[in-house]
Each structure stands twice: as structure tokens, then as C-alpha cells.
Amino acid sequence: MAAAAAAAAAADSDGDSGGCGSSRDSGSDGCGARMRARTRAVAMAVLSYSGGCSCNGGGSCVVILVSAPVAVASIVAVAVARAIAEAVILAVAVMMVEVVAVAAEVPVAVAVTEAVAVAVAVAVAVAAAAEAAVVALILLVIAFDLTIWIVLQSFSDIPDSEKACKDIAYQLVKENPRIQVILGGGRRNFLPQNSTEPNRSEARRTDGLNLVEEWKQEKMSHGFTHSYVYDKEGFDRVNPANTDYLLGLFSHSHMQYEAERDNTKEPSIGEMTAKAIQILSKNPNGFYLLVEGGRIDHANHANQAHKTFADVEAMNQAVHNAQRLTPDRDTLIVVTADHSHVLALAGYASRGHNILGLSTVDGQLNTVSPSDGKPYTTVIFGNGPGWSSDPRPNLTEVDTTAVNYLQDAAIPMRSETHSAEDVAIYATGPQSFLYTGTHEQSYIPLAMAYASCIGPYAEGKLACAKYEVLPHNNDPTPCTDPNPAELTRSTPAIVFMLSIAAIIFVLITKH
Ligand SMILES: [Zn+2]
């Protein structure tokens, strides 16, 4: 979702966001603290779901922890006391009846005494069993409480800065109000339960906030022209020329896969990219845009190559639109991925071969190389839900190009995994040469900041691109001191990023 990605980028670059784990606060312990914070959130969810206690700060959990052992001890004590008392009464009763029977010399009375004794003994046994069951149940509750208590204890060292972890929708609207364009899915995370907005049954905020209304109010209070849209018709009506702020939430959850997208309900990622650039490029100081094709990742997890490639193609259109709508001389575009997947292209397919089809050699179905004599798909996965049976099915008559076909996977898994190889990074525009070679991922945003003279490279801090001689500008006198003011005017930048897995692109322009 573009909105989520934009929020993440904004939060990361803004040390004052106060959200989850700014690098400044967390230090070397940041990752561990964030992990524990997430664990705490899970534990809270378990508690909330179980109804055991509403664990706001753990106070009510302590009540249960104290009360449960006391309750169990009481039950055990009562059960023991009852058993002893009943045994004593039984013994006394038997003795008395026997004494009376012997004294009266009535043999029948002895038989009756024995029957009564047996009946009482059975009753006592049943009562004891029932009590044991109750005690066992209580012990189970205690075990659950103790587990939660142990988990809660592990949270005790969470720094205060990590405790108030805010969701991305909240950060987007409340903590980064100057993000001008937010487009994507996830509407349910912006609306309170029982909201009257579209798809209200999906709305899931429990804090009562209606972030769409909050967003509108904030823009109105500043006199900004703004639009909130939730379908394609509304999106098409937005005129970039007179819109400063745009919030578009087109789905309660994720946007649709491109292969299944209803063109009358949701805009494509290419259309959203174009609209965003048309709005942002009105700013004379330039802009930064991040676009993420997040559903490529989801289709890979499902082993659905058709959907994967359809979303890659949609992302390609977004990159194309960005190039078309921005000047290359002042726009840095970076295209890369945050990770790859265990997707492989297998065999020796001929030119023009359908990549979703079965593997061929010289145009003929390849059933020779596989030891079982059955053809295989050109796209295969290392793991995932596409794993079939053993022996594997014969795919000769199967339409492997279908939208919902699952390509074969070597290891059966509910969801395919990411993988660890390096991903490509492509760049065009000013300072794009900074992206040659192999880099750690953290280098990517730093190079963008350097190219744009923002963040750590803002005026008066560190040197940035505008003070450097650009190697790609064919300057015959590379040691001359460039005029910073002139370079400042000539270095708006756009940054883009792309991948096989999740394609992200970012645009920056900066005067
Ligand atoms: Zn993933």
C-alpha cells in the first residue's frame, strides 16, 4: 500500500515522530525493545480475546493472579474438610447402627447398615471426583495466568518511548499532516467501529477516532484545498490543478491484484502515480514521492505467478508514468525492492515462450529431462502452497497460465517465503551514479538525501550534491567550485525503486 510505505518512510526520516522506535531513542537495544513491544501487543490481544482480563497496564492481571491461588486454596481446603467430616460421620453412623443392631439382635439391620455404608461411600467418591475436576480446571486457569504474567514480566524493561506504539494510519494523519498525497487501501484502519463510512462493518479502530474526518478537519483549518475519495469515480473527478491534499482509500483491506482489478472501482498504481505527481509537482521546491507495489509480494507468497507478473507490469506502468511526467534533468528516480522471493525461471525456454507456460526446448514440451517424464512450469517456487502431491501431477492438459493457478513448489508451506539474494537497484537522473555497485540497503535513502540536500545533508550540516562536481555532466574542469545557488535550482530529484518481490519507487525533487 502506498500510504503505508509513505508513512514508514516519513516516520523513519523524522526523528521527532514519537512513533515506534526512532533510531535516536532505541539505540543498540532498539530492535529487542521493539520485538518485546510486539510480543506485548500479542499478549494484550490474547488477554483481550480470552476475556481473562482487560490488561491496560497489567493492573487487572495482578488481581487475577492474586485471587486465583486464593480461590484454589479455599476450594482444596473445603474439599479436604468435607471429606474428613463425611468420613467421620460415616464411621460414626455405621458404628451406631451396628451397635443398635447388635443390641437388638436384628441381623437385617446389619445388612441395611452395610448398604447405607456403600451408598455413602459412593456419594463421597463422586463428590471428591467432581471437586478434583474443579480443582484441575482452576489449575489450568492459573497456568494460563502465570504464562501471561511471565510474558508481561519480560515487558518491564520496555522504554517509555516504545510503549505508545502508534499505528500507521494514525501516524499518517495525526503525526505527519504535511504529507500531501496518500493513496491506497486499508480504509478500515482509518475508521472507528460503527462508522457510517462505506464498508463500515469492516471499520476496526477501537479508539473512536475517525481519521478521515480528522484529516479533513486539519486541512480545512489551514485553508488547504483537499479531497477525500474512496472509489474510481471520485478519484477521476479530482483535479490536480486545484487540489493541494488528496486522501484516497479505495479498499477496506489491500487493493485488488491488478489481474483482478475492477477498473470501475479502483485506480491502477500507474494512475495513482500520475495523479500524485500532478499534484506534487506544483510545489516550486520539489517533492518526494514513494510508490510501493505491495501486492507483488502477496502474489509470490501465494505462488501465483500470473498475478505476480501482472502487478510487476502495473508497476512498470507507474515507473513509465513517472518518467513521462518529470524532467530527467532534475528528477532522480530509483527503482528497487526490499527483498526477493524463492521464485526461479527454470529450463531453456525459446524466445517468445509464454513465461507462465510449461517448459519447452526448441518449442517442444520438455518431458525428456524430468526423470518422471512429466512437463514442468517455467516458473517454479522453492516453497509455498503450490506444492502438490508425490508423485506430482501430469500438467500436460493443465492451464498453467490461469490467474489463480499455483506454480509448483518444492517444499509444502502455507505461504511462500522471502529469500536472501541481492536485489537490483536502478536509477536515472541527477546523482543516479551513486547507485552503481553493491550497497547495503541503508545506503539507499542516504544517497537520496545526499542528492537532494535534505535530512542529514540539509543546508549547514554536511556537504551534499549541490557542492559536488557531477561526474556525469561532462564538465571539462572538474575542480571548479560550482555555484551552489545555481545547482540548488537545478537539482530537483525524483527517486524510484523496483523489484521482483515488492516494488517500491520513490521520487524526490528538491530545489
Ligand atoms: Zn512478503
Residue 294 resides in a domain: yes
**Residues 439 and 468 grouped into a single domain:** yes
Q: Ligand 1 centroid vs 486 CA: distance in angstroms?
A: 43
CA atoms within 13 A on the CB side of 228: 17
Nearest CA to 448 among 427, 471, 469? 427
**Residues 270 and 395 grouped into a single domain:** no
Contact assessment for residue 187 and residue 197, using Cβ atoms and an 8 Å cutoff:
yes
Rounded Cα gap, residues 63 and 413, in angstroms:
42
**Residues 428 and 305 grouped into a single domain:** yes
Q: Ligand 1 centroid vs 326 CA: distance in angstroms?
A: 30
Q: Ligand 1 centroid vs 500 CA: distance in angstroms?
A: 11
Residue 361 resides in a domain: yes
| Domain boundary, last residue among 387, 416, 445 | 416
Q: Which residues pair with 341 in a beta bridge?
A: 418
Q: Which residues pair with 333 in a beta bridge?
A: 428, 507
Residue type (1 letter), 251: S
Using alpha carbons, list the distances in angstroms from residue 424 to 254, 314, 346, 427, 472.
Answer: 26, 18, 20, 10, 21
Place of cell 525459446: 350
Residue 1 resides in a domain: no
Q: Ligand 1 centroid vs 339 CA: distance in angstroms?
A: 8
Alpha helix ranges (H) inside 259-360: 269-280, 295-301, 305-325
298 is in an annotated binding site: no
Residue 409 resides in a domain: yes
Q: Ligand 1 centroid vs 503 CA: distance in angstroms?
A: 11
Rounded Cα gap, residues 162 and 409, in angstroms:
39
338 is in an annotated binding site: yes
Q: Ligand 1 centroid vs 344 CA: distance in angstroms?
A: 16
Q: Ligand 1 centroid vs 189 CA: distance in angstroms?
A: 20
Q: Ligand 1 centroid vs 167 CA: distance in angstroms?
A: 19
Q: For residue 210, what pLDDT is reported? A: 94
Rounded Cα gap, residues 204 and 270, in angstroms:
29
How many domains does the chain divide into?
3
Residue numbers of the chain with a pLDDT score lower than 50: 1-64, 473-503, 510-511
Using alpha carbons, list the distances in angstroms from residue 334 to 41, 352, 496.
Answer: 35, 29, 3
Q: Ligand 1 centroid vs 419 CA: distance in angstroms?
A: 10
**Residues 407 and 474 grouped into a single domain:** no
Q: What is the pLDDT of residues 370-381, one digit of tens each?
A: 889 999 999 999
**Residues 280 and 230 grouped into a single domain:** yes
Q: Which residues pair with 421 in a beta bridge?
A: none
**Residues 156 and 284 grouped into a single domain:** no
Q: Which residues pair with 503 in a beta bridge?
A: 293, 337
SS3 (DSSP) at 435: helix
Q: For residue 256, what pLDDT is reported? A: 97
Neighbours of ion ligand 1 (CB under 5 A): 297
| Domain boundary, last residue among 146, 165, 184 | 165
Nearest CA to 160 among 49, 279, 21, 32? 21
Task: Say if residue 267 is exposed, middle or buried (CB neighbours under 10 Å; 0-12, 13-18, 19+).
Answer: buried
Residue 241 resides in a domain: yes
Nearest CA to 441 among 499, 491, 374? 499
Q: For residue 153, what pLDDT is reported? A: 59
**Residues 260 and 279 grouped into a single domain:** yes
Q: Ligand 1 centroid vs 504 CA: distance in angstroms?
A: 13
What pTM was computed for the model? 0.64
**Residues 335 and 348 grouped into a single domain:** no
Q: Ligand 1 centroid vs 416 CA: distance in angstroms?
A: 8
| Domain boundary, last residue among 165, 196, 221 | 165
Rounded Cα gap, residues 190 and 206, in angstroms:
10
Place of cell 551513486: 434
Q: Ligand 1 centroid vs 318 CA: distance in angstroms?
A: 21
Residue 499 resides in a domain: yes
**Residues 103 and 206 grouped into a single domain:** no
**Residues 36 and 147 grouped into a single domain:** yes
Alpha helix ranges (H) inside 14-58: 23-26, 30-50
Residue 202 resides in a domain: yes
Residue 114 resides in a domain: yes
Q: For the chain, what's the residue count?
A: 511
**Residues 52 and 142 grouped into a single domain:** yes
State which residues form the domain around 388: 343-416
SS3 (DSSP) at 33: helix
Rounded Cα gap, residues 448 and 454, in angstroms:
8
Q: Ligand 1 centroid vs 494 CA: distance in angstroms?
A: 26
297 is in an annotated binding site: yes
Contact assessment for residue 507 and residue 288, using Cβ atoms and an 8 Å cutoff:
yes
Q: What is the pLDDT of residues 123-168, one digit of tens each?
A: 777 877 887 787 778 778 777 777 766 666 555 566 666 666 889 9
**Residues 50 and 128 grouped into a single domain:** yes
